[in-house]
Structure 1
Amino acid sequence: MHRRVAIIGGGAAAAALLGELLERQPPQALHLDWYTGGTAPARGVAYATRSDRHLLNVRAASMGMFAGKPQGFLDFVQRQDPTVAGTDFLPRRRYGDYLEAEVSRALALGKAQGHDVQVVPFAADAVVPEAGGVTVFRGEETRRVDAAVLAIGALPPQPMAGISAAALASGRYVVDPWPLLATPPTTTPEHVAVIGLGLTAADVLLELAARWPDARFTAISRHGLLPEPHLHAAALPNGDSAELIEAMQDAPEIRRWLHLLREAIAQEDDWRSVIDSLRPHTPALWAALSIEQRARFHRHARWAWERARHRMPPPVHEGLAALEREGRLHRLRGHLQGVDVDAGGLRLELRPHGGGAPQRLQAGLVVQSVGMDFDVARTPHPLMRQLVVNRHVLPDPLGLGCQATPQGRLLHGGGTWSRLFAIGSLLRGTLWESTAMPEIRQQARVVADQLLAE
């Protein structure tokens, strides 16, 4: 049993692990150092928003913090409002409230049981794993622990290729949209360009459109398509998905999988039920693919999978559709080639999808909303840069976090660390499904099992 553990990261993944460790009532006292990075503990970036326009993309009944209590969030909100249904898509701020309440409860429970939990409101500067333990550095202070878990969440976004230094210096090109959404400028730009059309872009468009009712928006992506919407009511497959899963495991090849999915969808009333039936099996299916097939999926099919798998709540879909009907939102299909300053704003150079003459677009503000970054080999994140440079961890070859075992143990050049773990986004390349709460809480349980094992 690892009695001294460092949890590094301040978001929901770290909170889930903290709760798992303290809820187990281990027979020996634990010493936990929780490095929250200076953010509000548990909320992280995902649930720090205070806007009611930013909704969860998973129904309330499936958002519990613990694998053993998947309806914990629903129970929490129904104590405040009995009219809330399990199928509702609630504001993310309410989920942040739930996480904070669960952390407060876990900390009180830990104290009552004699555990020592230190909430360190700073980021860890460096981590050095060894066979017999892990040393965590913060400033001039070092702490030796039995094990450490990286739960750092999203890596900091970086400017896309082709963005000029002048555009970045102008303040009109926004790399990270969340500070902008928290405190947008008081001056309303006439035209806003949003790079990306995923779930983050949807949050950006709805929030800025509400705050700037006179602004118009152009959203640019490779395919010009928004994420698909959820149905108002959850749908289940008409039959058992075991036959589909078995056929996919027998032929781990992307082209074959697409053929099998089309066949399965043709037999269902709605395609969403087929996609959702794959979710519990995704890590095993992903593991069955060779690195060449994973790369093929990444190049050619990822965009289609993401918009079908990570869907919008119906109110978000309806809000964006209304903006398009009003003529305030225009979607553009193309590839961004560059952004530079121009008179009165920024000039965007676009290459139309499929070729053709380059297009130019003027905007008073450009917001980059291309989703999460997983590439630890190129990230400016200080801790991950230290771990990669010192070869304590191995970057995933496709830029999807770190190489690890399915149980979350991180790999290095000589094998597997027995005392350095990860949960959440760093396991994207190992498990693929690794960023939503239903998967994160299961990872927290698996890592807690290993930390507390005799």
Structure 2
Amino acid sequence: MYRRVAIIGGGAAAAALLSELLDRQPPQPLHLDWYTGGGTPARGVAYGTRSDRHLLNVRAASMSMFVARPQGFLEFAQRGDHSISGTDFLPRRLYGDYLEAEVNRALTRAREAGHDVRVLPFAADAVVPESDGVTVIHGEENTHVDAAVLAIGSLPPQPLAGVSDAALESGLYVTEPWSFLASAKPDPRPRKVVLIGLGLTAVDVLLELSALWPNATFEAISRHGLLPEPHLESASAPADDSGELIEAMRDAPDIRAWIRLLREAVAQSADWRTVIDSLRPHTPSLWALLPPAERSRFLRHARWAWERVRHRMAPQVMSSLKQLEREGRLHRRRGRLQAVNVVDGKLHLDVRLPHGKGVHTMDADLVVQTIGLNTDVRRTQHPLVRQLATNGHITPDPLGLGCAATTEGRLQHNGHTWQHFYAIGTLLRGTLWESTAIPEIRQQARNLADRLLAPQVA
């Protein structure tokens, strides 16, 4: 087993792995260095919000941090409110509280068991994987560990092409919506806000700013102008295991064929959601079958449709957005952002319309970029990831989906696999595709903990 392990990252994936490691009873004490990067450990960006308007997009009964304790989050929530049901969509703030509580519980048990855990409230400056372990560097301190795990979540968002330096310097173009929302204050002034993107991040921004700014209007621009689909009011389950559909997809690893098969399955189903949900356990193995050209085709042509049906929102959230539309405060527009400049103290946007309809221009008091997770290691400004990529310690996924890695999470470089350097969560999207939500992350944490604590590691 590895006796000294570094976990780099302060969000839910890091917290899940730390807790899995400390909940075991290894024959020898562990030394764990947890580089949380500042902020509140365990919450990360995803669960750092303090707004009750930001809801989980998975029902409470499915959000446990641990495979072995499937009702963990629900039990935690019900201790504060006995009326909560497993089918409820609860605030992400509450889930952040749960993660913090589980980490604190694990740290207490670690002290009792004689483990040495250092919670380091800063980021690692550099990481150097080697044949016999990994060196983690922070300031003047170089620490050699038996294994290290990158658990840094998504990368910092980058401005879209066409956004001028003047727009960025004005402070009126927001690339990091979560830090912006954390500091937003109530304001009755009328203003026009434009959102670039219509995924779940855009939904959260709309919910929060529409409440804080009651006289603001919102225009949301995306390629297809569609909101994420909602969950059903009541929970549903697949009528069967979709075995025939899965086998047919395995026999024809081609995006066009898969779309045809999915349409046929949906046509025969009482609700399309049961078909999509039945694919979830099989998504990594199906993704592995796709040749690079087919993966690229999926990203160009079908990703937007998959994301809006796979990553759904709570029914009450959809109701709130529809109310904003009825009130005339929210308008959705199809198009692609071409340019953003500053003109007379406002932002001036050029948006290319679909089907060759030309370019639409508009002004905005504020533009918020809400295009979703950034996983492109090739272009990131994240200091540690840039260091790893520049020094050839990791290989970027060719489609911008994190890092090259094995299905077990071992990171790769120049066609070789590190034996002591791992990743968990979002950086594995190119390998697993389905690698960003708690149900997948908790399974990764469990499997990785097994691997790190195994008597012999291959």
Please, what TM-score do these two structures have when normalized by structure 2?
Answer: 0.98
Superposition deviation, residue 22 in structure 1: 0.6
CA distance in 1, matches of 2:415, 2:131: 11
**Match for residue 60 of structure 1?**
60
Superposition deviation, residue 70 in structure 1: 2.1
Q: Which moved more, 1:234-243 or 1:307-316?
A: 234-243
Q: Which moved more, 1:287-296 or 1:64-73?
A: 64-73
Structure 1 85/412 Cα, relative in aligned 2: closer, same or farther at 3 Å?
same
Task: Tell me which amino acid in the other structure corresponds to 2:46.
Answer: A
Task: Tell me which amino acid in the other structure corresponds to 1:201.
Answer: A
- Report if aligned partners of 1:73, 1:95 keep a CA contact under 8 Å in 2: yes
- Report if aligned partners of 1:224, 1:333 keep a CA contact under 8 Å in 2: yes
CA distance in 2, matches of 1:107, 1:53: 31
Number of residue-to-residue matches in the alignment? 454
- Report if aligned partners of 1:189, 1:364 keep a CA contact under 8 Å in 2: no
CA distance in 2, matches of 1:71, 1:9: 26
**Match for residue 107 of structure 1?**
107
Task: Tell me which amino acid in the other structure corresponds to 2:254.
Answer: E
CA distance in 1, matches of 2:345, 2:414: 51
CA distance in 2, matches of 1:344, 1:129: 49
Q: Deviations over 1:176-215 (max 9, x none)?
A: 0112111125654510001110000000011000000001
CA distance in 2, matches of 1:240, 1:164: 50
Percent identity (aligned): 69
CA distance in 2, matches of 1:351, 1:71: 48
- Report if aligned partners of 1:173, 1:365 keep a CA contact under 8 Å in 2: yes
Task: Tell me which amino acid in the other structure corresponds to 1:130.
Answer: E
**Match for residue 252 of structure 1?**
253
**Match for residue 318 of structure 1?**
319
Secondary structure, aligned partner of 1:349: strand
Superposition deviation, residue 238 in structure 1: 2.2
**Match for residue 297 of structure 1?**
298
**Match for residue 356 of structure 1?**
357
CA distance in 1, matches of 2:274, 2:13: 27
CA distance in 1, matches of 2:398, 2:101: 38
Task: Tell me which amino acid in the other structure corresponds to 1:346.
Answer: L
Query: What stretches of structure 1 move > 4 A for 4+ residues in a row?
Result: none
Residue ranges of structure 2 left out of the alignment (5+ in a row): none
CA distance in 1, matches of 2:377, 2:174: 22
- Report if aligned partners of 2:47, 2:92 keep a CA contact under 8 Å in 1: yes
- Report if aligned partners of 1:237, 1:268 keep a CA contact under 8 Å in 2: no
**Match for residue 83 of structure 2?**
83
**Match for residue 157 of structure 2?**
157
Secondary structure, aligned partner of 2:339: strand
CA distance in 1, matches of 2:453, 2:320: 47
Residue ranges of structure 1 left out of the alignment (5+ in a row): none
The root-mean-square deviation of aligned C-alpha atoms, in Å, is 0.9
CA distance in 2, matches of 1:252, 1:71: 36
Secondary structure, aligned partner of 1:278: helix
Superposition deviation, residue 154 in structure 1: 1.4
**Match for residue 270 of structure 2?**
269
**Match for residue 51 of structure 2?**
51
Secondary structure, aligned partner of 1:443: helix
Superposition deviation, residue 27 in structure 1: 1.1
Q: Deviations over 1:351-395 (max 9, x none)?
A: 001212211011000001110100011100000000000000000
CA distance in 2, matches of 1:289, 1:203: 33
CA distance in 2, matches of 1:58, 1:125: 35
- Report if aligned partners of 2:396, 2:404 keep a CA contact under 8 Å in 1: yes
- Report if aligned partners of 1:12, 1:99 keep a CA contact under 8 Å in 2: yes
CA distance in 2, matches of 1:426, 1:450: 19
CA distance in 2, matches of 1:425, 1:414: 21
CA distance in 1, matches of 2:380, 2:118: 28
Secondary structure, aligned partner of 2:40: coil
Task: Tell me which amino acid in the other structure corresponds to 2:84.
Answer: V
CA distance in 1, matches of 2:365, 2:304: 28
Task: Tell me which amino acid in the other structure corresponds to 2:436.
Answer: T
Alignment of 1:35 with 2:40, yes or no, is: no
Please, what TM-score do these two structures have when normalized by structure 1?
Answer: 0.99
Structure 1 142/80 Cα, relative in aligned 2: closer, same or farther at 3 Å?
same
Task: Tell me which amino acid in the other structure corresponds to 2:355.
Answer: G
Superposition deviation, residue 78 in structure 1: 1.0
Superposition deviation, residue 446 in structure 1: 1.2
**Match for residue 420 of structure 2?**
419
- Report if aligned partners of 1:148, 1:421 keep a CA contact under 8 Å in 2: yes
Task: Tell me which amino acid in the other structure corresponds to 1:50.
Answer: R
Alignment of 1:203 with 2:204, yes or no, is: yes
CA distance in 2, matches of 1:27, 1:353: 62
CA distance in 1, matches of 2:281, 2:432: 11
Task: Tell me which amino acid in the other structure corresponds to 1:98.
Answer: Y
CA distance in 1, matches of 2:249, 2:415: 33
Superposition deviation, residue 414 in structure 1: 4.6
CA distance in 2, matches of 1:55, 1:383: 31
Superposition deviation, residue 240 in structure 1: 3.2
**Match for residue 308 of structure 2?**
307
- Report if aligned partners of 2:186, 2:213 keep a CA contact under 8 Å in 1: no
Alignment of 1:402 with 2:397, yes or no, is: no
CA distance in 2, matches of 1:141, 1:189: 51
CA distance in 1, matches of 2:203, 2:262: 27
- Report if aligned partners of 1:189, 1:365 keep a CA contact under 8 Å in 2: no
